[in-house]
Structure 1
Amino acid sequence: MEYKLFDDYITLQSLLKTTGLLHSGGAIKSFLAENQVLVNGQEENRRGKKLRVGDLVELPEQAKTITLAAPSPEEIQEHENDLAEKARVAAIVKEMNKQNKLQKQTKIGKKQARAPRQTKHTSEQTDRRPVRFPGT
């Protein structure tokens, strides 16, 4: 399997999660303790091991090999376009959330501005209300 590395490095944990071989940090920790993982031919058990372009990760028991490769200029451009689109969408969502929050605060402010209704409860009215138990 070949993994295109767009950054300077990736940790062993991130690589195993990104490739879908393992799904969580806890699973990776126990996997490294129980299985042999070779990085450039040497056994490695550190989740935070930094891997760079040209490194070779082998999982002999699973018959998996991952080679870290440099992406082509076209792949780099596509990756940058994807990141820019994600940032654009995140900014739109952030602005929408901000507007929704302001609208809710405005509605709450209007409700509080109204004079609260004063009601008198007689003993008969209070007896008709259902009994409320804590936690329900």
Structure 2
Amino acid sequence: MDYKLFDDYITLQALLKETGIIQSGGAIKGYLANNTVLFNGEDEKRRGKKLRLGDKVELPKEGITITLIQPNEKELEQHQLDLAEKKRVADLVKKMNKDKQKPTRQDNTKTQTGKQPKKPVRFPGM
């Protein structure tokens, strides 16, 4: 299996998660403890190991070999466009949240924390 690497490196944990071999980042410790993972032919137990272009990760028990390759120009362009769109949407949401006005407080209504506003103290018989 080939994995196209768009950045300088990817960690072993992230690679196994993105390829669907493990379901979550928390599962990596148990996976590495119970399975053999070979990094360029040598046993690897560090989940944060940085993998770069040309590296090979082998999972002998599953019969899987992952080779990190460089994407072509078209794929690289599409990745850059996707990142730009993601940033644009994040900035838009941030701006919308900033522009939101806080609701005004009215007597006998709950505040944002869910508490009733304080009423003046009344003394009996007055």
So what's the TM-score if we normalise by structure 1?
A: 0.76
Q: Give the equivalent residue in structure 1 for 2:71.
A: 71
TM-score under structure 2 normalisation? Answer: 0.81
Q: What value does the CA root-mean-square deviation take over the aligned residues?
A: 2.2
The structure with the largest alpha-carbon Rg is 1
Unpaired segments ≥5 residues, structure 2? 108-117
Query: Which structure 1 residue ranges, 5 or more long, are not aligned?
Result: 124-136
Work out whether 1:20 is the aligned partner of 2:20: yes
Alignment size in residue pairs:
115
SS in 1 for 2:61: helix
SS of residue in 2 equivalent to 1:30:
helix
1:2 pairs with 2:2:
yes
After TM superposition, give the deviation of residue 26 of structure 1 in Å: 2.5
Q: Tell me the SS of whatever aligns to 2:15.
A: helix
Q: Which runs of 4+ in 1 moved over 3 A?
A: 116-123
Query: Is the helix fraction higher in 1 or 2?
Result: 1
| d(CA) in 1 for partners of 2:76, 2:58 | 26
Give per-residue Cα distances to partners, 1:86-131, cap 9 Å, x unaligned.
000001111111122xx125x23xx37xxx87696879xxxxxxxx
What one-letter code is carried by the residue in structure 2 that aligns with 1:58? E
